[in-house]
Structure formats: C-alpha cells, structure tokens
Chain A
Amino acid sequence: MTTQTEQPPRLFEGREPVFPQRVSGWYRRLKWWLMIFTLGIYYITPWIRWDRGPNLPDQAVLVDMANARFFFFWIEIWPHELYFVAGLLIMAGLGLFLFTAALGRVWCGYACPQTVWTDLFILVERWVEGDRNERIRLLRADISFRKTRLRLTKWTLWLIIAIATGGAWVFYFADAPTLFHDLITGNAAFVAYGTIAVLTATTFIFGGFLREQVCTYMCPWPRIQAAMMDEDSLTVSYRDWRGEPRGKLGKAEGDCIDCMACVNVCPQGIDIRDGQQVECITCALCIDACDTMMEKIGKPRGLIDYCALSDEPLERAGNPPKSIWNHVLRLRNFIYFGLWASIGVAMVVALFIRSDFSATIKPDRNPRFVKLSDGSVRNAYDLKIRNQSGQERVFHISIKTEEPLRLDLQGTDELNVVVPADEILHQRVYIVAKPEHNSSQIDSSDVRFWVEDRSTGDRAHTDSFFAGDAK
C-alpha cells in the first residue's frame, strides 16, 4: 500500500438506494407501450393455440424437450435442423451489433428483461409506497405498523409478479392448459416446480433488490457494447456547452438550473451530466424529465437528448447537429444490416424449400460386409426415414447402382415401409452383390438410396457405398 488511509479499508461497499421519481413524456410513454408489448408476448404466447391435426400438439409455440421437437406456429424444427436455431442466434447477435452501432444501448434501455421487470417492480413500489420523497421518508422512518404493512404489501405484489414470471416460462415447454392444471393440483413434474422456484427467486431478487447492480456489476453487455459503439452512435447525452455553467433559475448563465430532475428520475442512480458512463442504460427518462423542466422555464427542449459524439464540435461552434438519419445511415450499419438480412433471407428460403421428409443412411461398419454361402457379398445398412408431417406415410425404397444389385428389407419381402406421423423409422436394409458382379470384389462402389412418398411421388435420396470383398 502506497496510500495510507485513516480508517481501515472497508470490506464491502453498500448499495446506495435509488428512488426513481415518476416522470412523464414521450420516452416514458414509449417505454410503457414497450413494456405492455414485451410482457404481453412473454405471458400470452404459450396460451395461443394452433391446429396441427390429430397427431401433433396444438400449442403455437412449444419447445418439446421430451420428444425433441420445436414448434413455432406453422414451423416445426427437428434436432437435425438445429441450424435454424443457430441462425436465429447469429441474427440476434448481428441485430444487437446493428442496434448498438446505430442507437447505442437501446437494448439495455428498452427491451432487456432486467430493465422491463425492474420498471414494473418500481411501478408497483410507487403505487404502494408513493413517489420518491415518500419512499425516502419511509426508508428513514422507524419501524412501525404502517411501514411493515407497506413493505409486506409491496413484497407480496412483487412475489405474485415473480411467480407469474417463473410460471409463464415453464408453459413454453409443455402443453400450457394441461401443465397449469397439473401445477394447481400438485401433479406437475418436480423440474417444473424447481424451475418456477428458481425463476421466481431471481425475478424477485433481481427486480426488487439488485436492480441497477445487475447492469453495473453482473452484466457483461455494457463492456461489450462499449466496444461496438463509435462517435456516430446515438446516446443519451447532456449538452454541457448549453447547460454550463449551471446554477439556480435566474442566476445561471447556462440553461441547466440544477433542479436535479434528471438525477431523481434515473433508475440507475447516476447523474447524466457527468457524461457517458458505464452505468447508463440509456432509458431516456432523464430526457423526459429535463424537457418537462425546460418547457416550464420557457427554454428550448433537448438539453439532455439523444446525441452523437461526432456532433459535439459542431454544436459547440453554434451549428445545428446533423440529422439523425445522417448518423444512422452509415456504412457500418449497412454492413451489419446486410449481413443480418442475408442470413434472414437464407433461412426463410431454406425453410420454404425444405422437404417434410428425409432419409439418411448408415452402413454397418462391423462387419463391413458379410459373405454368403453362394459366394455373394452382402452389406447391411441402417436406413433412417424422418416423416416430418402430421400424417402416416408409405415410402418406397429403391437403390441406384452401376450393376443391378439386389435390395432387401429386414423383416419384410416388400420394398415399402410405413412411417407413422412425426416419427423416425429405422429400417435395416441389405444389398447383395452376386459373385459375378464386380462390386462384390472391389473395395467400394457407390450406392444411392431413393425414398419415394407413395402418395405424392416426392423423392429424397441419400448416398452411401457398397463394400466388396477386395481380399
């Protein structure tokens, strides 16, 4: 230690309580609507029904872990098509790049679950305990019946929201009405209750108590985003060249009257006038607060505003800033958008041209071939036919080889198989080469398996090889 301190160093830093004040304005309204929209999607989606016929579940969005299926309205994804999910994740990543480069931490401020649920919890808090000043008084007050009642009411409401949040999550993984009934009657699986318990606890603690600490200490995203922004990204900024020097109304030279409205409404407990900082989630509530104040005192709005760093010299010189489109429509964003859109288009195309059945073949490796008593050589294969439709289907199996080799199916004399709806059939198949066939003596010759839907005539193929006894 080079620096001496008078007191012994503290082991921890307590949280400074934050009491965001009620605010109204354009961004606040936008955030209310976004909250209704995002929470609505989250809570309602599992209850939407979607008729897929008798053999498939009728839940519009369902992640069916037990049967390894993902249903999304008219789309059904099987495990071998997981690249669609990978594509969606890449799109989500690129989408964040795009939004961050263009609009800064817009995800943090408007759409992140931590922000949305914290906003909801603060709403409840304000409804029960009153606005900023009353809450501060309540914190300072000694323990009393009223304080206990208010605290308990608030925590109960939070807990109800938290249980509903955890509860909604599990409905995505099972038939929602059935699971709801099972949950109520105590018949649901332990994992369902466990998941609800964990998510209830995290919602309650993260939304009620940890709040801005999650963003500041736990989340890696603020650090990552700092690397993705540049001087053209729009962020919430304080125009200090206009506001400073600040002072009381009538005495100040700058426009800032130091009313602290921007600080009081901030859910992160920071002062935006200190400049860009890692704690700021750009929720824009300080813009609403400041604009309200500026209108009251008859000054132009926008002392706190979405600005690009590159405009600062321009504005300091007294010129108007460049238009928002000037910042948003720049090469970097076009590249992000281009990548994002091309992956999206590729996935949509892939989704529309994919067949609702497919086949894969796996030759037996041990042994690679079996010699028969008449000197023929036989290969065995595991043919896998996936029927991704809701109907049972009959498939005809055939092979294409250079020589006329014989195809046999285990357990049947026919070359047709029935695959039940939404299932995979494993069929053991044999190819036999007579001793006079060249294939029986060379190490490997090509085989193409064709699988044809008997009713529609659609065909799919899969390639393999025939192993001969090369000696």
Chain B
Amino acid sequence: MRKKKMNDEDYPTTGHEWDGIREYDKPMPRWWLWTFYLTIVFSVGYVIAYPAIPLLKGATPGLLEYSSRGEVRENIELVNGQNAAIEAKLLATPLAEISADPELSRFATAGGGAVFRTYCAQCHGAGAQGFKGYPNLQDDDWLWGGNIESIALTVRHGIRHDADEDTRYSEMPKFGEILESEEIANLAQYVSLISGQEYDKAAAAQGKISFGDNCSSCHGDAGLGDVEQGAPNLADALWLYGGDVETVTESITNSRFGVMPAWQGRITEAQIKQVTFYVHQLGGGE
C-alpha cells in the first residue's frame, strides 16, 4: 500500500539559499488545509450569527442578536434573581438586628459598599474619610447622630434638602451681621479655650459671656453640640471646616451649613438599608 516515497531531491525549493541550506517548497498536510477551509466556513457562519460588519451607526446585528451589553444586563438580572431571597430578608429585618446575622451582614456590607461608591463617594470620599465641609463618616463625631436609626434618617431624607418634607433642618445665623468684629474675635478665642487649643485669656473670658448669649442655645453651655439640631461639638478635636482661630472666625462671621440630598425615592429601600449598615460598620457607628 505504501506509495513510492518522493526523494527529497525531487522536491522543488523556494529558491532561497543560506550557506548551502535550501528551503523546500513542500505541500501542506491535507488535514491542515481542511482546518484552514473550516476556519473560512466558520467565519461565514460567525458573520451571519454575530454582530460583524460595521455600519455608519453600530454594526449588523447578526441572527443571534448578541450584544455584550445585553449579556451584562442578563448577568445583572441573574444575580438580582439569586439575591432576591436575601434581599427580602434584609427588607424584613430591622436595621439594628442585621448585625446578628453574619450572612445578612455580609450581604448588606458588600451591597452597601457598592451603593456608597456609586452615590456617596463623590462628597464623602471613596473611603468615607470626608473632606473639608463634608463629614468624615469613619470617626466618632456625628452632627446628626451616629446610631444606625439616625444614619438611616439622614440617608432617607437628607440634610437641609428642601424638596423633602422630613429633611432635618437648622441654620446658623451669620453673626457678622449681628455682632461686632471684636465680639467675634473674643468668641473665637473662647472656642480655642474649650477645644483645648492656645487662647488669649482676657478675650476668652469676654467670649465666654458672648457664647452664653449667642451660641449656647444650639451648641450647649459647654459647647458640646446638639445632634437634635445638627450643632457640632466645639470642644472636641475634630473640625469639619477647621479649628484654627482664623477659620473659626470666618465660620462665626459667615455661618456654615452643608446640604445633603435625600436618597429615598432615588435608590431602593434595600439599598438605603444596605448603605446605612455599611456606613454604620465603618468604625464610627454608635
């Protein structure tokens, strides 16, 4: 059955020669050629089945109408379906009891982290570390309360968000329009005193009187603040805008108040619970 083998000398060469070594022009094995034809057939099938030929807008859709975006959408729906049971459980569980269930905690933390990075990180920072004027959510200093219910309330209704009826509201007067600049300077010295910084004794004594008249109704007699009114604690080491005399003077003169949007209606109830739980477990939650 063996065919007479062709001798190597009988084969044509490509005509290339390097140091006496010539390159044969031998035919391909047949299976190789078939594989090559097969890829051509495959490519035709592919062009028919899948998006392939670019048009001015988009490309030919292909019979299977495949799109990678559609695939992502399907995957998201798949995951949402897989999470449906635990999400229902999350909705049925009171906020304070989530932490007792490790599986629910993991779900809330992971989901809340995603919500936070999507909607909250723009102001509060990716690590919730805050910026000047935007509170740090990892520390133990809370303007409007740091227990899980208070955080939920803030997320739901925002702060000073006019469009929401239940938003919490307070406004510090611009004392530059009420007090003399000397009085404001004295107040700033008194704030330095209660927050444990360097201060002028005489001015601070004057400031103390002024503080009782103008500030203590919101910030308290000792300057410890009031979470009911969103009045910051002036006696601790943390400052939202800065605790040096210059910044405090500016704060008293022109007043400060930040605005946070309400998230109820913009994100789902489950997302509100998740992000609340996430923020609460960052280390500052009470």
Interface residues of A (CB under 8 A from B): 1-5, 9-17, 19, 136, 139-140, 210, 213, 217, 364-367, 370-375, 378, 380, 410-411, 428, 430, 435
A262 to B237, CA, bound (A): 93
Supply 24 A–B pairs (Cβ within 8 Å), ascending by A: A2-B15, A4-B12, A10-B27, A11-B33, A12-B28, A12-B29, A12-B33, A16-B2, A217-B29, A217-B32, A366-B126, A366-B127, A366-B129, A367-B129, A370-B136, A371-B237, A373-B139, A378-B283, A380-B283, A410-B283, A411-B99, A411-B105, A411-B281, A428-B283
A217 to B26, CA, bound (A): 13
Q: Is the CB of A12 within 8 A of B138?
A: no
Question: Is B189 close to A, CB under 8 A?
Answer: no
A111 to B129, CA, bound (A): 61
A371 to B238, CA, bound (A): 7
For B255, the chain A residues whose CB sits under 8 A away are none
Given A3-B13, A13-B27, A373 and B238 contact (CB-CB distance below 8 Å):
yes
A400 to B46, CA, bound (A): 62
Question: Is B180 close to A, CB under 8 A?
Answer: no
A350 to B2, CA, bound (A): 56
Apart from A1-B14, A1-B15: 11 A-B pairs, beta carbons within 8 A: A2-B13, A4-B12, A12-B32, A217-B29, A366-B129, A370-B283, A372-B140, A373-B236, A378-B138, A378-B283, A410-B283
Over the window 1-31 of chain B, the binary record of Cβ atoms lying under 8 Å from chain A Cβ atoms (1 yes, 0 no) is 1110000000011110000000001111111
A136 to B1, CA, bound (A): 7
Q: Is the CB of A375 within 8 A of B237?
A: yes
Question: Is B61 close to A, CB under 8 A?
Answer: no
A1 to B22, CA, bound (A): 12
Q: Is the CB of A370 within 8 A of B237?
A: no
For A3, the chain B residues whose CB sits under 8 A away are 12-13, 15
Residue from B126, B140, B283 whose CB has the most chain A CB atoms within 10 Å = B283
Q: Is the CB of B31 within 8 A of A210?
A: yes
Question: Is B274 close to A, CB under 8 A?
Answer: no
Q: Is the CB of A12 within 8 A of B237?
A: no
A370 to B30, CA, bound (A): 70
Which B residues, 140 to 179, have Cβ-Cβ distances below 8 Å to chain A? 140-141
Q: Is the CB of B99 within 8 A of A374?
A: no
Q: How far is the CB of B244 from chain A (nearest CB, A)?
A: 13
Q: How far is the CB of A274 from chain B (nearest CB, A)?
A: 10
Q: Is the CB of A373 within 8 A of B233?
A: yes
Q: How far is the CB of A54 from chain B (nearest CB, A)?
A: 20
Q: Is the CB of B127 within 8 A of A364?
A: yes
Q: Is the CB of B29 within 8 A of A9?
A: no
For A430, the chain B residues whose CB sits under 8 A away are 283
For B62, the chain A residues whose CB sits under 8 A away are none
A471 to B238, CA, bound (A): 14
Q: Is the CB of B12 within 8 A of A9?
A: yes
Residue from A366, A373, A375, A430 whose CB has the most chain B CB atoms within 10 Å = A373
Q: How far is the CB of B200 from chain A (nearest CB, A)?
A: 22
Question: Is B133 close to A, CB under 8 A?
Answer: no
A15 to B34, CA, bound (A): 12
Q: How far is the CB of A440 from chain B (nearest CB, A)?
A: 11
Q: Is the CB of A213 within 8 A of B29?
A: yes
Given A367-B127, A373-B237, A411-B105, A13 and B15 contact (CB-CB distance below 8 Å):
no
A10 to B27, CA, bound (A): 6
A117 to B282, CA, bound (A): 59
Q: Is the CB of A13 within 8 A of B129?
A: no
Question: Is B51 close to A, CB under 8 A?
Answer: no
Q: Is the CB of A374 within 8 A of B237?
A: yes
Question: Is B261 close to A, CB under 8 A?
Answer: no
For A435, the chain B residues whose CB sits under 8 A away are 237
Q: How far is the CB of A128 from chain B (nearest CB, A)?
A: 19
Which residue of chain B is the closest to A4 with respect to CB atoms? Answer: B12
- Tell me which of B3, B15, B25, B281 contacts A9 (CB under 8 A): B25
Q: How far is the CB of B192 from chain A (nearest CB, A)?
A: 15
Q: Is the CB of B27 within 8 A of A9?
A: yes
Question: Is B220 close to A, CB under 8 A?
Answer: no
Which residue of chain A is the closest to B142 with respect to CB atoms? Answer: A373
Q: How far is the CB of B221 from chain A (nearest CB, A)?
A: 18
Which B residues, 270 to 286, have Cβ-Cβ distances below 8 Å to chain A? 281-284
For A14, the chain B residues whose CB sits under 8 A away are 30
Which residue of chain B is the closest to A418 with respect to CB atoms? Answer: B102
For B99, the chain A residues whose CB sits under 8 A away are 411
For A378, the chain B residues whose CB sits under 8 A away are 138-139, 283
Q: Is the CB of A213 within 8 A of B31?
A: yes
A410 to B138, CA, bound (A): 12
Top 8 nearest A-B pairs (CB, nearest first) are: A366-B127, A367-B129, A373-B236, A375-B237, A2-B15, A3-B12, A12-B30, A12-B33
A350 to B45, CA, bound (A): 52
For B125, the chain A residues whose CB sits under 8 A away are 366-367
Which residue of chain A is the closest to B14 with respect to CB atoms? Answer: A1
Q: How far is the CB of A370 from chain B (nearest CB, A)?
A: 4
A366 to B116, CA, bound (A): 14
Q: How far is the CB of A342 from chain B (nearest CB, A)?
A: 42
Residue from A10, A12, A213, A435 whose CB has the most chain B CB atoms within 10 Å = A12
Which residue of chain B is the closest to A379 with respect to CB atoms? Answer: B283
Which residue of chain B is the closest to A378 with respect to CB atoms? Answer: B283
- Tell me which of A2, A11, A367, A370 contacts B27 (CB under 8 A): A11
For B283, the chain A residues whose CB sits under 8 A away are 370, 378, 380, 410, 428, 430
Q: Is the CB of B138 within 8 A of A370?
A: yes
A217 to B30, CA, bound (A): 11
Which residue of chain A is the closest to B233 with respect to CB atoms? Answer: A373
- Tell me which of A15, A19, A410, A411 contacts B29 (CB under 8 A): A15
Which residue of chain A is the closest to B282 with respect to CB atoms? Answer: A380
Which residue of chain B is the closest to A205 with respect to CB atoms? Answer: B31
For B136, the chain A residues whose CB sits under 8 A away are 367, 370
For A367, the chain B residues whose CB sits under 8 A away are 125, 127, 129, 136, 138
A365 to B138, CA, bound (A): 13
A13 to B33, CA, bound (A): 9
Which residue of chain B is the closest to A375 with respect to CB atoms? Answer: B237
A338 to B2, CA, bound (A): 47
Which residue of chain A is the closest to B34 with respect to CB atoms? Answer: A12
